[in-house]
Amino acid sequence: GEDVEQSLFLSVREGDSSVINCTYTDSSSTYLYWYKQEPGAGLQLLTYIFSNMDMKQDQRLTVLLNKKDKHLSLRIADTQTGDSAIYFCAEMLGGYNKLIFGAGTRLAVHP
Amino acid sequence: NAGVTQTPKFQVLKTGQSMTLQCAQDMNHNSMYWYRQDPGMGLRLIYYSASEGTTDKGEVPNGYNVSRLNKREFSLRLESAAPSQTSVYFCAIGHSSSYEQYFGPGTRLTVT
């Protein structure tokens, strides 16, 4: 079946690293995504990884994929107050690029 | 959200009223999607359109209809609004060759 799970809340100190975790159930997922949503705004595509990759790095963002365990993580280095937002994990299934989203992880960054 | 516009930004309806949410894109992408976002549930796909002239149901299509008017525009219609349709609605676009989806700013709908 199709299900994406994330923890609901994460609190980190400014300057520390944040790690947001996600598990998915469908082994046929082709791409996995991280989106960021700030209050009152739409979803911003942060990064995505193809299912045959283990890791992708993009500036402060590192995505790790463990396909055996169906586990995806997003690491944000040197977390800043501007990183406070809700982060959504999503998997792409089958034809026509349909996305299945997790419920989102609210990241709070405190001084 | 560049390239995807949604109107209106906010709407309040009474139960039983109808309305159409509009989405337009200027990125020349083939696929367009409508999602709804409810607290604690992430986004759920209502309908999608792989190309002009085609539409298909997503996870939660009941109570909605869609029209892919042309390549640029994809509208979502509520014929008889219900309080359960209170939500934030997002339009998204995608291109099969890039596997990226871009979202509009959303429409916040309240049905009383």
| DSSP annotation string for B16-27 | T--EEEEEEESS
Tally helices (H) and strands (E) across chain B: 0, 11
pLDDT score of B48? 93
* A chain contacts of residue B105, beta-carbon cutoff 8 Å: 41-42
Digit-coded pLDDT (tens) for A94-104: 666 688 899 99
Digit-coded pLDDT (tens) for B8-45: 999 999 999 999 999 999 988 999 999 999 987 789 99
Cβ distance A99 to B45 less than 8 Å, yes or no, reads yes
Which of A42, A44, A96 faces B31 most closely, judged by CB atoms?
A96
Q: Does A48 contact chain B (CB < 8 Å)?
A: yes
Coil, strand, or helix at residue B88?
strand
Digit-coded pLDDT (tens) for A48-64: 998 888 999 999 999 99
User: What is the distance between the alpha carbons of residues A89 and A72, in angstroms, rounded to a whole number?
Assistant: 8
Coil, strand, or helix at residue B54?
coil
Q: What is the DSSP string of A25-69?
A: --TT--EEEEEEE-TT--EEEEEEEETT-SEEEETTEEEEEETTT
Residue A77 and residue A19 in contact, taking contact as beta carbons nearer than 8 Å: no
Mean pLDDT of chain A: 91
Residue, of B104 and B69, whose pLDDT is higher: B104
CB-hemisphere CA count at 13 Å for B101? 31
Residue A89 and residue A101 in contact, taking contact as beta carbons nearer than 8 Å: yes
Query: Is pLDDT at A27 greater than 90 in this prediction?
Result: no
Q: Which of A17, A45, A41 is nearest to A31 (CA)?
A: A45
pLDDT score of A1? 46
Average pLDDT of the residues in A23-39? 87
Query: Is pLDDT at B1 greater than 50 in this prediction?
Result: no
Strand order in the sheet with A61-66: A4-6, A18-24, A71-76, A61-66, A55-58
pLDDT score of A61? 97
* A chain contacts of residue B56, beta-carbon cutoff 8 Å: 96
Q: Which of B95, B92, B49 is nearest to B68 (CA)?
A: B49
Average pLDDT of the residues in B93-97? 79
Query: Is pLDDT at B2 greater than 60 in this prediction?
Result: no
Q: Which of B93, B35, B21 is nearest to A100 (CA)?
A: B35
Which of A48, A101, A103 faces B100 most closely, judged by CB atoms?
A48
CB atoms closer than 10 angstroms to residue B96: 13
Cβ distance B43 to A43 less than 8 Å, yes or no, reads yes
* A chain contacts of residue B100, beta-carbon cutoff 8 Å: 45, 48
Coil, strand, or helix at residue A79?
coil
